[in-house]
Amino acid sequence: MPEEHRDGWSPMWVRLNTLATVLAAFTSLVALIVAVIALTS
């Protein structure tokens, strides 16, 4: 029963983890662009 529950939750956690990673990468990229614009202007 616990293993079944874990398997049921696994896909959601993987999706959540992927989303968090993409969001973190996007945020750092935006921060980098903003920093470059701030430094150059």
The pLDDT tens digits for 15-40 are: 999 999 999 999 999 999 999 999 99
Cα→Cα distances 3→9, 17, 40, Å = 10, 20, 54
Say what the pTM is.
Answer: 0.62
Q: Is the pLDDT higher at 25 or at 41?
A: 25
Given a cut of 80, whether residue 41 has pLDDT beyond it is: yes
Q: Is the pLDDT higher at 29 or at 11?
A: 29
pLDDT band for position 3 (50/70/90)?
low
Q: Total structural domains in the chain?
A: 1
The residue segments making up the domain with residue 18 are 1-41
